[in-house]
């Protein structure tokens, strides 16, 4: 009640100030602002053009403007989402004139409404770097995870699919990522519910993989600190806000049915020796052991063909939308079936989404309630088969039909000892690895929220919003391995299970006051947020197939929780509709930190200048938009920090980690290494940007420059010996920066009734640099080794070094003979001491992260046809080809009871032994990928009620690269046999009723 009174006082005071001089001989205008359905519009801004007079409409849509000079004036009413409209009014001194202004919904404008944290604004009013990607710009295809729909669509965002496995998810980096050890994943907010970040859900590929891509209306990406700072401690890596489709109202029931059918194809396999090449190599150089074994192998098996299949995907969506009286609704059912290209793998998702968004209490209360439920049934193919198929001896058959093999090993060929047991270190038959393992999971997930948006009409422009949401999942899974599987032969199979319950609850409550006056505009938001997470998982023993205990269950279940409490505020001030100032502040308290350092404060300020509205710029007729944006802000990062880690915790060991006292075994209790003063990583960001448009916005775009500096960087560093309960502890020690530029450009080449042709392009340039990594600087310390590789135990290929990009490659310099062949074991001896050791390791010229990203896409429509493509490129980075380095030498053939195939690179290098630290294995990772190509035809009305559209598309059409491995897109820069990304052919049919 007090606020109501205060606000009125303030308003009255302002009114007096403005109107006082004009009070003498003036008239008054009253009127009503309504929409085309004769419903009042509340809070519309009404101004008398050419004056500074104005006001806002009240709960009944009524407004009153006093002190208007007599004469014919033009009154303009405007409201978000509606086209501004004017009315001519004749004012007489001392009298009251009245008018009715009916606003039409502006579809174009609506699309430009942009969600920002805890509210929406219009594109024109944005001060930060925010990109909204609407449905029409999504990539076309059958996707199991929704983020794949926006790959390459916006600068500054790198989305790398983790693999080609069903539901595998992606790694998302916005402007390079700000952390070394904590999370670099952006915060994802689905209809106001922050989704589970790190950790993922047991039995599901990724957290986003359970969201139906078809439900999504827009992705909005908050890139700079001004935009993301409202999310405080979780905003450092940017924020992706996903809004979903809502019921649109109207009486008519609309039904939409779409079905997509896809077939996948493996495009490339690892270039290993063929059976005959392997025979020749062994013939020439093999040990007696190898020769004996190879002589027994008479088959020619291409294991990399055996393990793959053309995976079929089918995606059916049935959506109903409409309104029952005043209750708009949308109900969607989904069924998604995906077969992996790796045999036995599949994902089946069944989901339903219900959205209701009624307006109640005389339009004062807007309710937006969404419930989504998904059930996912996975069967995970054992991805070990991919590496197995690469190395398994091609001279051996898949199966051997003898009584012995049939009874002992399910008929599969395996490497055996004379006594018939499997050879311990030998690879296992990849087909038995796939077929003799059944690893299934069943995941149920519910994500829902109710948002109540109440218009407090006592104070025009004041709203109270309450959002209650939750994200709950319940997963379980079982793993069975036949006791005749060679990999589990000694332990007699596997019969294991797991379960997990995971939940997060969020409550947000905020007040928003938004008022536009003639000269000034104010949008104030202040709120409170509470979020609580809990993960529980019971302990199960490790069992053989028939139930014998291999190792007993842990004595306690897993059960951890954490909470985040926040207060936040935002003020947006607009002057003359040209100068925009936004300031935000968020205070976050996290249960993960010591009570003394638990609260973090994250401010931001941004300024924007709509230069186009200056008279000076209006003279440039070809220019249609020009806006300058500047921002500064601080965001934080707490993901990736373990719960309770500031406490000097003691943990109990497992039953297999006991110690013998006398005749018994005593469970152990261990203190964990800890840093009591662990705190947030904080990232300070600067952003400058220009938005521009030419030729009536037929050509438009943005340019942004940014600099982000993370301090109190969390790094695992060695602690002084004797001072802690581990040799390395996670602590706040370093500094790292990202600086870069982003440009995006869109061009509407043709736009008329029959034809539309649009292109978009974007470029991102990002340079990452580690500025500090230890408490005490030591020039002799090269940095923190990272990037563990296959090949030997304990080898690393990268280093975090001050002054360099993170995880830069750190290798020996290979020397070559006159024919350009690498000389085995010969490396540049940089310090000339005659020994090649760690002192002769040097940093490569590039790291694993691309410095430049390109996206280019186009969409066209001609009459009933439409078509489009999407291209993407990355450059400036390298890949360590660990497949080649680990498998491309003679010694890998082994001959100790089994034969391995080796990489065909051996034919070039002739390396006898592992040379994994050689820069010979670093390869340029630049690539250009044609992600997507589609063509669609709108069949139109099939009958009176049915419309039909057909679209055909290809995903992952083409990759142009010098990289010799399967796929140059390897997050982290170490290529180690990923699940290949297939090419996907899809036909999609869409019916509307």
Identify residues 555-594 at the interface with another protein (CB under 8 A). 556-557, 559-563, 565, 589-591
Among 423, 522, 705, 842, binds another protein (CB under 8 A): 423
977 binds another protein (CB under 8 A): no
Residue with Cβ nearer another protein (562 or 870): 562
Among 420, 547, 671, 803, binds another protein (CB under 8 A): 671
* Residues 178-217 as x/- pattern, contact with another protein by CB under 8 A: ----------------------------------------
Q: Which of 311, 212, 213 is nearest to 262 (CA)?
A: 311
865 binds another protein (CB under 8 A): no
361 binds another protein (CB under 8 A): yes
**Least Å from the CB of residue 901 to another protein:** 18
Residue with Cβ nearer another protein (406 or 594): 594
Q: List CB contacts of 210: < 8 A, sequence separation 6 or more.
A: 201, 204, 349, 351, 374, 376, 443, 445, 473
Among 14, 253, 576, 668, binds another protein (CB under 8 A): 668
Span near another protein by CB under 8 A; candidates 107-115, 210-218, 666-674, 737-745? 666-674
288 binds another protein (CB under 8 A): no
**Least Å from the CB of residue 241 to another protein:** 23
Q: Are 579 and 609 in contact (CB under 8 A)?
A: yes
Site for another protein in 767-806 (CB under 8 A): 774-776, 778, 780-781, 792-795
820 binds another protein (CB under 8 A): no
**Least Å from the CB of residue 41 to another protein:** 19
**Alpha-carbon dihedral 967, 969, 975, 979, rounded to 10 degrees:** -60
Cβ atoms within 10 Å of 351's Cβ, excluding its own: 21
Phi/psi at 648 (5° precision): -70, 80
Structure token digits, residue 677: 């003063």
Q: List CB contacts of 412: < 8 A, sequence separation 6 or more.
A: 398, 399, 400, 405, 429, 431, 432, 435, 436, 486
Residue with Cβ nearer another protein (21 or 832): 832
524 binds another protein (CB under 8 A): no
36 binds another protein (CB under 8 A): no
454 binds another protein (CB under 8 A): yes
913 binds another protein (CB under 8 A): yes
**Least Å from the CB of residue 721 to another protein:** 4
**Least Å from the CB of residue 657 to another protein:** 4
Among 897, 908, 924, 971, binds another protein (CB under 8 A): 897
Q: In what order do the strands lie in the sheet with 922-924?
A: 922-924, 878-881, 974-975
3-state secondary structure at position 945? coil
- Which residues of 819-903 form beta strands (DSSP E)? 822-827, 842-843, 852-862, 865-875, 878-881
Site for another protein in 400-419 (CB under 8 A): 417-419
Span near another protein by CB under 8 A; candidates 367-375, 439-447, 718-726, 957-965? 718-726
Q: Which of 939, 962, 960, 949 is nearest to 989 (CA)?
A: 949
Among 104, 217, 596, 838, binds another protein (CB under 8 A): 838
Q: In whole angstroms, what is the distance from residue 98 CA to residue 67 CA?
A: 14
Q: In whole angstroms, what is the distance from residue 620 CA to residue 609 CA?
A: 17
974 vs 402, 616, 841, 967, CA distance in Å?
Answer: 42, 54, 18, 11
Span near another protein by CB under 8 A; candidates 140-148, 351-359, 392-400, 543-551? 543-551
Site for another protein in 675-694 (CB under 8 A): 675-676
Residue with Cβ nearer another protein (221 or 789): 789
Among 107, 546, 616, 661, binds another protein (CB under 8 A): 661
Residue with Cβ nearer another protein (696 or 837): 837
**Least Å from the CB of residue 58 to another protein:** 12
Q: In whole angstroms, what is the distance from residue 209 CA to residue 168 CA?
A: 7
Structure token digits, residue 780: 């002799």
364 binds another protein (CB under 8 A): yes
519 binds another protein (CB under 8 A): no
Residue with Cβ nearer another protein (344 or 544): 544
Phi/psi at 225 (5° precision): -70, -30
425 binds another protein (CB under 8 A): yes
Q: In whole angstroms, what is the distance from residue 801 CA to residue 180 CA?
A: 12
935 binds another protein (CB under 8 A): no
Residue with Cβ nearer another protein (333 or 454): 454
6 binds another protein (CB under 8 A): no
3-state secondary structure at position 5? helix
Residue with Cβ nearer another protein (241 or 733): 733
Span near another protein by CB under 8 A; candidates 232-240, 668-676, 689-697, 800-808? 668-676
Q: In whole angstroms, what is the distance from residue 376 CA to residue 353 CA?
A: 15
Among 32, 457, 685, 881, binds another protein (CB under 8 A): 457
3-state secondary structure at position 849? coil
Span near another protein by CB under 8 A; candidates 76-84, 181-189, 226-234, 421-429? 421-429
280 binds another protein (CB under 8 A): no
**Least Å from the CB of residue 666 to another protein:** 4
723 binds another protein (CB under 8 A): yes
**Least Å from the CB of residue 491 to another protein:** 5
Residue with Cβ nearer another protein (427 or 936): 427
292 binds another protein (CB under 8 A): no
Residue with Cβ nearer another protein (726 or 908): 726
Span near another protein by CB under 8 A; candidates 5-13, 40-48, 244-252, 665-673? 665-673
Question: Residue 486 has what DSSP assignment?
Answer: G
Q: In whole angstroms, what is the distance from residue 236 CA to residue 681 CA?
A: 9
Q: For residue 637, count CB atoms less than 10 angstroms from its CB and return exposed for 0-12, middle for 13-18, buried for 19 or more.
A: buried
**Which helix (H) or strand (E) segment is 430 a member of?**
helix 430-435
655 binds another protein (CB under 8 A): yes
* Residues 490-509 as x/- pattern, contact with another protein by CB under 8 A: xx---------------x-x
76 binds another protein (CB under 8 A): no
Q: For residue 46, count CB atoms less than 10 angstroms from its CB and return exposed for 0-12, middle for 13-18, buried for 19 or more.
A: buried
**Least Å from the CB of residue 818 to another protein:** 27
117 vs 80, 452, 488, CA distance in Å?
Answer: 17, 16, 51
719 binds another protein (CB under 8 A): yes
Taking the alpha carbons at both ends of the chain, their separation in whole angstroms is 50
972 binds another protein (CB under 8 A): no
Span near another protein by CB under 8 A; candidates 23-31, 165-173, 392-400, 456-464? 456-464
107 binds another protein (CB under 8 A): no
The string of DSSP codes covering 583-594 is EEEEEEEETTS-
3-state secondary structure at position 272? strand
SS (H, E, C) 780-819: CCCCEEEEECCCCCCCEEEEECCCCCCCEEEEECEEECCC
Q: In whole angstroms, what is the distance from residue 787 CA to residue 435 CA?
A: 32
Q: In whole angstroms, what is the distance from residue 301 CA to residue 398 CA?
A: 7
Among 550, 581, 761, 939, binds another protein (CB under 8 A): 550
């Amino acid at each position: 009640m007090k606020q109501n009174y205060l606000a009125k006082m303030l308003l009255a005071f302002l009114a007096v100030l403005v109107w006082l001089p004009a009070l003498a001989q003036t008239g008054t205008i009253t009127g009503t602002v309504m929409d085309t359905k004769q419903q009042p519009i509340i809070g519309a801004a009404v101004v008398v053009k050419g004056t500074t007079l104005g006001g806002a409409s009240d709960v009944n849509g009524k407004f009153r403007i006093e002190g208007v000079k007599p004469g014919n004036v033009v009154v303009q009413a405007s409201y978000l989402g509606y086209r501004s409209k004017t009315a001519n009014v004749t004012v007489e001194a001392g009298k009251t004139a009245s008018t009715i202004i009916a606003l039409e919904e502006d579809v174009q404008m609506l699309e430009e409404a942009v969600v920002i944290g805890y509210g929406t604004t219009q594109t024109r009013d944005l001060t930060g770097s925010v990109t909204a990607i609407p449905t029409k710009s999504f990539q076309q295809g059958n996707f199991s995870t929704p983020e794949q729909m926006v790959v390459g669509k916006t600068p500054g965002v790198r989305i790398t699919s983790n693999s080609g496995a069903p539901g595998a998810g992606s790694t998302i980096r916005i402007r390079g990522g700000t952390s070394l050890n904590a999370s670099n994943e952006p915060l994802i907010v689905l209809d106001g519910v922050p989704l589970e970040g790190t950790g993922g859900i047991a039995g599901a590929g990724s957290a986003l993989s359970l969201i139906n891509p078809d439900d999504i209306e827009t992705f909005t990406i908050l890139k700079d600190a001004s935009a993301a700072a409202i999310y405080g401690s979780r905003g450092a890596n940017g924020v992706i806000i996903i809004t979903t489709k809502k019921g649109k109202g109207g009486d008519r029931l609309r039904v939409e049915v779409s079905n997509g059918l896809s077939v996948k194809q493996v495009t490339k396999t690892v270039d290993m020796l063929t059976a005959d090449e392997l025979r020749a190599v062994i013939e020439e150089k093999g040990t007696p052991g190898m020769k004996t074994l190879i002589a027994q192998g008479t088959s020619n098996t291409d294991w990399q063909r055996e393990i793959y299949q053309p995976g079929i995907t089918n995606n059916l969506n049935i959506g109903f939308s409409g309104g029952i009286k005043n209750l708009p609704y949308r109900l969607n059912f989904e069924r998604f079936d995906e077969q992996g290209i790796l045999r036995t793998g599949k994902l089946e998702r069944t989901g339903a989404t219900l959205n209701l968004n009624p307006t109640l209490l005389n339009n004062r209360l807007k309710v937006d309630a969404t419930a989504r439920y998904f059930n996912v049934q996975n069967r995970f193919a054992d991805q070990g088969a991919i590496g197995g198929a690469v190395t398994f001896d091609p001279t051996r058959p898949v199966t051997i039909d003898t009584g012995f093999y049939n009874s002992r090993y399910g008929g599969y060929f395996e490497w055996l000892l004379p006594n018939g047991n499997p050879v311990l270190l030998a690879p296992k038959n990849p087909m038995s690895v796939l077929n003799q393992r059944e690893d299934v999971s069943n995941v149920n997930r519910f994500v829902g929220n109710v948002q109540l948006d109440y218009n407090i009409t006592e104070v025009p422009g004041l709203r109270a919003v309450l959002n209650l949401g939750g994200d709950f999942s319940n997963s379980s899974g079982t793993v069975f391995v036949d006791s005749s599987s060679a990999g589990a032969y000694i332990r007699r199979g596997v019969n294991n299970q797991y379960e997990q319950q995971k939940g997060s609850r969020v409550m947000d409550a905020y007040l928003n006051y938004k008022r536009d006056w003639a000269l000034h505009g104010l949008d104030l938001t202040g709120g409170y947020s509470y979020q609580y997470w809990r993960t529980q998982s019971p302990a199960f023993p490790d069992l053989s197939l028939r139930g014998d205990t291999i190792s007993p269950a842990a004595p306690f279940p897993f059960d951890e929780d954490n909470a985040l409490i926040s207060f936040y505020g935002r003020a947006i001030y607009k002057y003359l509709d040209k100068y925009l100032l936004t300031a935000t502040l968020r205070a976050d308290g996290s249960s993960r930190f010591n009570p003394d350092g638990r609260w973090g404060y994250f401010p931001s300020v941004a300024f924007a200048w709509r230069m186009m509205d200056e008279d000076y710029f209006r003279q440039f007729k070809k220019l249609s938009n020009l806006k300058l944006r500047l921002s500064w802000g601080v965001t934080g990062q707490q993901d990736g920090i373990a719960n309770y880690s500031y406490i000097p915790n003691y943990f109990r060991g497992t039953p297999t980690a006991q110690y013998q006292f006398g005749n018994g075994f005593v469970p152990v209790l261990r203190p964990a290494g800890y840093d009591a003063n662990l705190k947030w990583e904080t990232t300070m960001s600067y952003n400058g940007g220009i938005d521009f448009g030419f030729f009536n916005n037929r050509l438009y775009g943005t340019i942004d420059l940014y600099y982000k500096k993370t301090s109190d960087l969390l790094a695992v560093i060695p602690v002084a010996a004797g001072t802690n309960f581990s040799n390395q502890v996670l602590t706040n020690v370093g500094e790292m920066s990202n600086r870069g530029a982003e440009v995006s450009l869109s061009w509407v080449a043709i736009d008329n009734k029959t034809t539309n042709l649009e292109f978009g392009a974007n470029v991102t340039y990002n340079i990452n640099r580690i500025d500090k990594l230890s408490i005490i600087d030591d020039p002799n310390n090269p940095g923190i080794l990272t990037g563990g590789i296959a090949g030997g135990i304990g080898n690393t290929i990268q280093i975090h070094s001050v002054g360099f990009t993170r995880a830069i490659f750190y290798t020996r310099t290979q020397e070559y003979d006159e024919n350009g062949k690498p000389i085995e074991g010969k490396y540049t001896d940089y310090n000339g001491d005659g020994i090649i050791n760690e002192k002769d390791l040097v940093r490569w010229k590039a790291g694993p992260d691309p410095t430049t990203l390109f996206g280019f896409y186009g969409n066209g429509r001609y009459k009933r046809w439409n078509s489009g493509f999407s291209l993407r490129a990355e450059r400036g980075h390298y890949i360590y080809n660990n497949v080649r380095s680990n498998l491309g030498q003679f010694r890998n053939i082994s001959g100790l009871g089994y034969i391995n195939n080796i990489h065909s690179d051996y034919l070039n290098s002739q390396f006898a032994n592992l040379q994994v630290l050689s820069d010979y294995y670093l390869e340029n990772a630049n690539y250009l990928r044609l992600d997507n190509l589609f063509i669609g035809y709108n069949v139109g009305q099939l009958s009176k009620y049915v419309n039909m559209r057909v679209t055909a598309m290809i995903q992952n059409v083409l990759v142009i690269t010098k990289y010799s491995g399967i796929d140059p897109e390897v997050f982290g820069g170490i290529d180690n046999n990923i699940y290949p990304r297939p090419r996907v052919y899809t036909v999609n049919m869409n019916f509307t009723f």
